[in-house]
Amino acid sequence: MQLRPLSWLHKTSEHTVRTSTEQDILLRRAAEITSVPVTDFILQSACKAAELAVLDQRQFFVSGHERRQLIDLQKAEPAPPPALGRLLAIEPPWNGSSALRAPEPLIPEHSIHQFDCGKHALNDWLTHRARLTQLKGSAKTFVVPVQQRVIAYFSLTVGQIDSRELPAHGSITLDREQFPVPVILLTRLAVDQTYQGKGIGRALLREVLMHTLAVAEQAGVEALLTQPLNEQAAHFYMAHGFVQSPAAYKQLLLTIGDIQAAKAALGTSQPGAALSAAKQ
Domains of the chain: which residue ranges? 16-55, 58-279
| pLDDT(170) > 70 | no
Tell me how far the alpha carbon of residue 145 is from its chain's centroid: 20
Least confident of 91-95, 145-149, 171-175, 223-227: 171-175
CA–CA separation, 29 vs 84, rounded Å? Answer: 50
| pLDDT(2) > 50 | no
Which pLDDT score, from 0 to 100, does residue 174 have? 47
pLDDT band per the 50, 70, 90 thresholds, residue 173:
low
CATH number of 58-279: 3.40.630.30
pLDDT band per the 50, 70, 90 thresholds, residue 273:
very low
Q: List helix spans (H) across the chain.
A: 21-34, 38-55, 64-75, 82-89, 120-128, 130-136, 200-218, 231-238, 256-265, 273-279
CA–CA separation, 134 vs 187, rounded Å? Answer: 14
CA–CA separation, 155 vs 188, rounded Å? Answer: 5
What mean pLDDT, rounded, does the chain reach?
Answer: 86
**Residue among 44, 35, 38, 39 at smallest CA distance from 14:** 39
Q: How far, CA to CA in Å, does 174 sit from each of 66, 71, 171, 178, 179?
A: 17, 10, 10, 7, 10
Contact 31, 38 (CB under 8 A): yes
Least confident of 92-101, 229-238, 249-258: 92-101
Contact 150, 191 (CB under 8 A): no
Contact 73, 255 (CB under 8 A): yes
Helix%, strand%, coil% for the chain, nearest 5: 45, 20, 40
For the chain, give the percent of residues with pLDDT over 70: 86
pLDDT, tens digit (0-9, with 9 covering 90-100), for 207-221: 999 999 999 999 889
Which pLDDT score, from 0 to 100, does residue 166 have? 63
Q: How far apart are the first and last CA of the chain?
A: 35
| pLDDT(278) > 70 | no
Least confident of 15-19, 108-112, 115-119, 183-187: 15-19
pLDDT, tens digit (0-9, with 9 covering 90-100), for 151-160: 999 999 999 9
Catalytic site residues? 237
Q: Identify the DSSP state of 58.
A: -
> CA 110, 141, 82, 259 torsion: positive or negative?
positive
Give pTM, 2 decimals: 0.83
Which pLDDT score, from 0 to 100, does residue 223 have? 95
| pLDDT(55) > 60 | yes
223 burial level (CB within 10 Å; 0-12, 13-18, 19+):
buried
